[in-house]
Amino acid sequence: MVPERAVSGRLLRAVAGRPLPSGELPRKAVHLSMGGFALALRWLTWQQAVLCALAAFAFNLLVLPALLGHRLRSERDDVSDRGVLLYPLVVLALIVLFHRPDGGGDGMYLAAFGWGLLAGGDAVAGLVGMKWGRHPLPWNPRKTWEGLAGYTAGGALVGTALMVWNAPGLVHLASRPAPLWALHATAVLLAAGTAAVLEGVPHGLDDNVLPPLLGTYVLFTLHALHGGVAALPLSAVFVKTLALAAVVNGVIAGAALAVRLLEPAGVAAAWVLGVATWGFGTWRAYLLLWVFLAVGTVATRLRRAHKRAAGLEDEARRGVRHVLANGLLCLLGSLLYWLTGGASAAAVMVAAGLAAALADTMGSEVGKALGRRAYSLPWLRRVPPGTDGAVSVPGTAAALAGAALVAATAVGTGYLGRSWLLPVAAAGFLAMLAEGFLPRLGDHSNEGTNLANTVIGVILAYALWRLL
């Protein structure tokens, strides 16, 4: 038998966790405490909040280094001062993108929620992951499931507190019927969970940037700027559509498995993606998915022998990670489309994500097939064809055409209104260009940069739509 004292000692060590790297606790405490400034959004117009964010950026850039130097640095090798500068810029983006045009008390509750994800989610995830994290994520062994759970819980709690403070009317949800506040809680958890998953993906960009933006966009989609979540549209027609989608995609999955187009696990993931896109996102979203698959496959096989001879062909069979990297936002957007009864923000997630994915595929594959010269952005320095992030004239033209094709299909089928044509097409193309810079910024994987590409496409589409 194991002595009771030994068992108690192991239990205490497990609860206490590992010691944190020197300097890490003060950094996380400051990161979390900065969320307190979101309390002021209740009294500021969005223009005043923008000026405050710009002032914070200038302070962190010009004054803070002179005051503190590197006293808030951690012993971890992957820590830099970059996050100190990015923090106010992310807050600035949240304010500009998610404020209500009329300003006022309820005007920036979504921005406040995103600030809560940035402050609470990231801080709690870091502390929990470093202290108790023992189970690495399949897509990033440097992050853990414990850290992901910490981000979800911390982001949801801090984000909800800041959101309720800036929208006092939400306090009364607790007194409403159970289904309503339960749906609100589900919306918050889905938003925080989405941000947590993205925070754990290695895509080169600092993990403080995209997670709070996408998480807030998810909540924006579900709340439709009014705090309401639609009832689940269950019906006999929906069940029949879902069943038909399962059968049709089952046949397609069998064919893909027979020709060894994907790994078996990748085929299963593609089946789930196809069923969910058709069943939840309607046939219009499913058509967009097939535009991406069909045109992307043609581009991949274009001058295949030439690519193989030049060593530019990716011969590995693609699996779950590849399917989800390009299709995760299509899956999520289709689910949100169903939950909200057809919100345009959900449709934008599907269309803009696929526009960015097709632009990336077209730019890469057509560039390798037809591009004789490749250039590195932004200075257009000549590099060997196939270099990560390089562009060519044929590839760039094909990327623009791919993004425009997805946008035109979405508008032509009525999935999106006409006002979304230019934002979705431009965002898909610009996201492809932005993805070329990601490998230079930090730790990344090919699937991670592909997923980040689709996220950037969605955020840019919404930003351009607001500007236009």
Domains of the chain: which residue ranges?
23-223, 236-467
Check whether 31 has a pLDDT greater than 50. Answer: yes
- At 317, is the pLDDT very low, low, confident or very high (cuts 50, 70, 90)? low
396 or 6: whose pLDDT is higher?
A: 396
pTM of the model: 0.90
Least confident window among 65-74, 96-105, 146-155, 311-320: 65-74
- At 456, is the pLDDT very low, low, confident or very high (cuts 50, 70, 90)? very high
- At 225, is the pLDDT very low, low, confident or very high (cuts 50, 70, 90)? very low
- At 99, is the pLDDT very low, low, confident or very high (cuts 50, 70, 90)? confident
CA distance 83 to 57: 11
- What sign results for the dihedral spanned by CA atoms 75, 77, 78, 81? positive
Check whether 251 has a pLDDT greater than 80. Answer: yes
455 or 77: whose pLDDT is higher?
A: 455
Please give the share of the chain, as a percent, with pLDDT higher than 70: 82
174 or 323: whose pLDDT is higher?
A: 323
- At 397, is the pLDDT very low, low, confident or very high (cuts 50, 70, 90)? very high
Q: How far is CA 357 from CA 60, 77, 103, 122, 224, in A?
A: 35, 32, 35, 27, 26
DSSP 443: S
Per-residue burial over 253-292, b = 16 or more CB atoms within 10 Å of its CB, e = otherwise:
beebbeeeebbeebbbbbbbbbbbbbbbbbebbbbbbbbb
Segments of 130-264 assigned E as strands: 136-137, 140-144
Neighbouring residues of 443: CB distance < 8 A, sequence distance ≥ 6: 78, 142, 202, 204
Please answer whether residues 402 and 370 qualify as being in contact, where contact means their C-beta atoms are separated by less than 8 angstroms: no
Lookup: tokens for 153? 């819980």
Strand (E) or helix (H) holding 293: helix 264-301
Residue whose C-alpha is closest to residue 445's, from 227, 202, 279: 202
Strand (E) or helix (H) holding 278: helix 264-301
Note the pLDDT of residue 104.
42
CA distance 296 to 362: 6
Please answer whether residues 34 and 119 qualify as being in contact, where contact means their C-beta atoms are separated by less than 8 angstroms: yes
Check whether 181 has a pLDDT greater than 90. Answer: no
